[in-house]
């Protein structure tokens, strides 16, 4: 039966012989796609009397929403915190290459930098949809420079800043513009941080707590003012202490405003967080866990020296250090690797592992009505994976943008 052309001339594609991640479960159903959106087959049959124009046999693959990486500093030799003449070409390269990792949307992340870098780089980042050209850009994640000197990690100390009398104006002057900014990581114990958190939240920017020596009550106060995220939990914050659990205590705090969920990023690369710590966090607050790569320019490259903003870093296997030190500096893990490691380390279900890289980051950014799920009318950004959770193909807006076979693998 031909599809009803009065509704749309666009072809309807039916993905068959697959298990779809929907409503937190893998379900044996077909996936229907038209014009970049996921269709409700019942409406198609009964309202439009339509059927598929193209059928694709998925050979029993898992179909899951595309991964969303909200903290990625670069990759493949490109460093988002370096103001270069070919910055746009660099961001295009990374967005193309991460399709093979299952990432369909991301937040390019800048580490602590001088104001001149923000002023040069941020105008060159534009929010855009994904496609054959690469993963979609959801907006920038600015990690610093308003962070703690004691917990600076790989951030250059000479670039760190505090909030002065006109706190929010300081932030604006430092960044130059907030037009393309989606997430700001700051240390909530800083004086005047509350007004900054309120102002950023008012503008729809997600505030994340990180690189901080905050105690639990300072962290709770930040959440009451609008903060909703924790940057790479356990890393660059006070270690958990039973009398004052610090930012980590937000996972089980009873002072979170009603109806609000605190999310937390985890670098599940087997290096940044011991598997036992990953299990503790996941069991304490499973619905808040967001997998991030925190990948740096060296991801996808051979071991050796690379950059992270103003610093030189050294890659040794999966470890990345500030050159000449043992200070960890981002990761070289890919998102699909993080998903597999998370599932293995926690023993969680396949569904839970996949949602930590798709549904949860979408909920964090408030875009779960179009990304991070395979619900009807949402964007048809999805992956085909095998049972080992290796990505076989990546689709954006219903179009295949990467396939393993295409590389002769």
Give the other-Cβ count within 10 Å of 351's Cβ. 18
Question: Which position has the token pair 């690469």?
Answer: 134
329 is in an annotated binding site: yes
Are the C-beta atoms of residues 310 and 296 closer than 8 Å to each other?
Answer: no
**Which 3-state string (H, E, C) describes 269-292?**
CCCCCCHHHHHHHHHHCHHHEEEC
232 is in an annotated binding site: yes
309 is in an annotated binding site: no
119 is in an annotated binding site: no
Residues whose CB is less than 8 angstroms from the CB of residue 228 and which lie 6 or more positions away in sequence, other chains included: 206, 207, 208, 260, 261, 262, 263, 364
Residues whose CB is less than 8 angstroms from the CB of residue 242 and which lie 6 or more positions away in sequence, other chains included: none
328 is in an annotated binding site: yes
User: How far is Cα 269 from Cα 232, in angstroms, rounded to an integer?
Assistant: 12
272 is in an annotated binding site: yes
User: How far is Cα 107 from Cα 87, in angstroms, rounded to an integer?
Assistant: 15
> Which listed residue (79, 294, 336, 381) is catalytic?
294
154 is in an annotated binding site: yes
User: How far is Cα 191 from Cα 352, in angstroms, rounded to an integer?
Assistant: 38
236 is in an annotated binding site: yes
302 is in an annotated binding site: no
330 is in an annotated binding site: yes
Is 294 designated active site?
Answer: yes
Give the other-Cβ count within 10 Å of 45's Cβ. 13
Residue 27's φ and ψ, nearest 5 degrees, are -120, 140
73 is in an annotated binding site: no
**Binding residue ranges for Zn(2+):** 143, 211, 232
By annotation, the residues acting in catalysis are 294
List binding-site positions for substrate.
Answer: 154, 235-236, 243, 272, 328-330
The binding site comprises 143, 154, 211, 232, 235-236, 243, 272, 328-330
């Amino acid at each position: 039966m031909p599809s009803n052309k009065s509704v749309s001339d666009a072809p309807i594609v039916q993905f068959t012989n697959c298990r779809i991640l929907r409503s937190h479960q893998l379900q044996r159903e077909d996936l229907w796609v038209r014009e970049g959106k996921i269709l409700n087959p019942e409406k198609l049959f009964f309202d439009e009397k339509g059927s598929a124009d193209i059928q694709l046999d998925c050979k029993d693959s898992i179909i899951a929403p595309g991964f969303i990486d909200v903290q990625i500093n670069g990759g493949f030799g490109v460093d988002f915190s370096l103001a270069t003449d070919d910055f746009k070409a660099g961001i295009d390269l990374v967005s193309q290459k991460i399709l093979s990792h299952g990432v369909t949307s991301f937040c390019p992340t800048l580490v602590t930098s001088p104001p001149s870098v923000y002023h040069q780089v941020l105008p060159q980042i534009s929010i855009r949809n994904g496609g054959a050209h690469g993963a979609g850009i959801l907006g920038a994640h600015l990690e610093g420079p308003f962070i703690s000197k004691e917990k600076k990690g790989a951030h250059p100390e000479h670039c760190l800043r505090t909030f002065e009398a006109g706190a929010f104006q300081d932030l604006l002057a430092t960044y130059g513009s907030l037009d393309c900014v989606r997430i700001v990581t700051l240390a909530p114990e800083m004086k005047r941080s509350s007004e900054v958190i309120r102002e950023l939240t008012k503008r729809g920017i997600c505030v994340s707590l990180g690189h901080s020596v905050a105690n639990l009550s300072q962290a709770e106060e930040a959440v009451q003012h609008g903060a909703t995220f924790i940057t790479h939990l356990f890393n660059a914050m006070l270690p958990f202490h039973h009398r004052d659990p610090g930012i980590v205590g937000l996972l089980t705090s009873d002072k979170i405003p009603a109806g609000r969920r605190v999310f937390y990023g985890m670098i599940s690369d087997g290096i940044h967080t011991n598997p036992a710590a990953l299990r503790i966090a996941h069991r304490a607050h499973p619905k808040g866990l967001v997998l991030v790569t925190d990948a740096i320019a060296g991801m996808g490259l051979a071991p050796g020296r690379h950059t992270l903003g103003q610093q030189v870093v050294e890659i040794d296997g999966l470890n990345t250090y500030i050159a000449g030190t043992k200070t960890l500096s981002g990761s070289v893990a890919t998102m699909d690797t993080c998903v597999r490691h998370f599932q293995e380390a926690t023993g969680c279900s396949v569904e839970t592992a996949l949602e930590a890289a798709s549904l949860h980051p979408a909920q964090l950014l408030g875009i779960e009505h179009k990304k991070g799920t395979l619900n009807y009318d949402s964007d048809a950004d999805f992956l085909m994976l095998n049972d080992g959770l290796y990505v076989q193909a990546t689709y954006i807006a219903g179009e295949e943008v990467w396939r393993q076979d295409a590389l002769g693998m």
